[in-house]
Amino acid sequence: MAKARIMDQPADYKKLGIDPKQVQTWEDGRRDNNAPGTSEVWYFDAILDDGSKAVFYFHPKSPYKLQEDGDHPDIGILITAPDGKTYGQQIIDYPAEDSHFGTEKCDVQVGPHSVVGDFKDYEIHIDPVAQVAADLHFHALVKPFRQGNKGIITMGDHDEYHYTDLSVVKNEVTGTLTYDGATHKVTGSGYHDHQWVNISPIVAWHHWLWGHLYTENYTVLIYDFVAAEQFDFTPVPFFGVMDNKTGEVVFQTDGHFTRQTELEQQPTIKKAFPKKSSYTFTNEDGSSVKFTTEWKQELEVRNMYWGASEQQRAAYDQMGIQPGYMRYFADGTLSFEKDGTSVNESGTMIYEYNYGGKEDPRAHV
């Protein structure tokens, strides 16, 4: 079987021009080209003090046009009001000539919408569209996080594919959201990541669980990747714990972990998704962290297989996949030992479960 691994060796750092000890501002600029098969996204979400939630993303190339040449920009904005109603639209397309993606920092414009930032502060502007709008300021409370000091996964016998994640996991959020005919002043906590890939997620991964947890004293990032069958269902975990006071990473997995799940059938997507996921990360140096998440609200359901046309389903069948996607609002818990004292903290989180493969007992769901 072909391999999947994190690029965390000295030769990897040299090849990519990355300083393993310091994240540089240009790393949040555009990283890939616009050739067929490439994809890039700048993603932001927020859990707000009034009970609302918001998700924003900016693509140079729409996920529905990955195999086309050139840029095909879009944005997505989804707002969940305190009463649970959702507003916005997942994909809103704009001409490439009306868009810009800078290379020296996060400097993104898609039509009249934009985000600019430098790992410390970000300004998000969503012009009125799909009956929503936003003007938010994200101020980083922790340092950027790269798993294995890299955040880049390579796949294939000769590292021909790459899949990435670079995160600013906790930010203070202030500003306004407009939905349901009114503008709301909001405060809360938010997350940002930047990803760039040259392989379709539905080809690369059987599934993943991705999310972030904020507790009183710590911030957690988890990205539980499980590779597709062609990559031997290889688990490639990202997991880090950051101290809210210093912003420093206090724990990062070295890849050794166990996972237990309690499954529940999702009636629309027709597959069993984890209702509760419990992890224990234990490194070779003896350090260990336990993390659990259990969802309590479905924020988004993408019925990508059963909701597709017969022609599209036939194409998925030929690929041997049944893609479906869930986004949740959940409870999370964190526990570990620090300086001889037990740490046990909890909080709420947003997480997603992107489930592209067919149900398979080998796939660690």
**Cα gap 208→330, rounded to integer Å:** 16
CA distances from 72 to 35, 62, 268 (A): 11, 6, 29
pLDDT in tens, 3-24: 888 877 778 777 777 777 788 8
User: Cα-flanking dihedrals φ and ψ of residue 147, to 5°?
Assistant: -65, 135
What 3-state DSSP class applies to 202?
A: helix
Average predicted confidence (pLDDT) for the chain: 92
Of 318, 264, 254, residue with least CA distance to 287: 254
Low-confidence winner among 12-21, 24-33, 70-79 (lowest mean pLDDT): 12-21
H/E run at residue 222: strand 218-227
CA distances from 297 to 83, 326, 327, 351 (A): 12, 10, 9, 11
pLDDT at residue number 6: 80
pLDDT in tens, 133-170: 999 999 999 999 888 666 688 888 888 888 888 899 99
pLDDT at residue number 150: 60
**Cα gap 226→235, rounded to integer Å:** 4
**Cα gap 25→289, rounded to integer Å:** 30
CA triple 64-103-88, angle to 5 deg: 40
**Cα gap 225→206, rounded to integer Å:** 8
| Chain-centroid distance, C-alpha 362 | 24
Amino acid at 113: H
**Cα gap 173→279, rounded to integer Å:** 29
Sequence-distant (6+) residues with CB within 8 A of 65 are: 72
The pLDDT-based confidence of 2 (bands split at 50, 70, 90) is low
Instruction: For residue 317, count other CB atoms closer than 10 A to its CB.
Output: 12
pLDDT in tens, 169-200: 999 999 999 999 999 999 999 999 999 988 88
pLDDT in tens, 50-61: 999 999 999 999
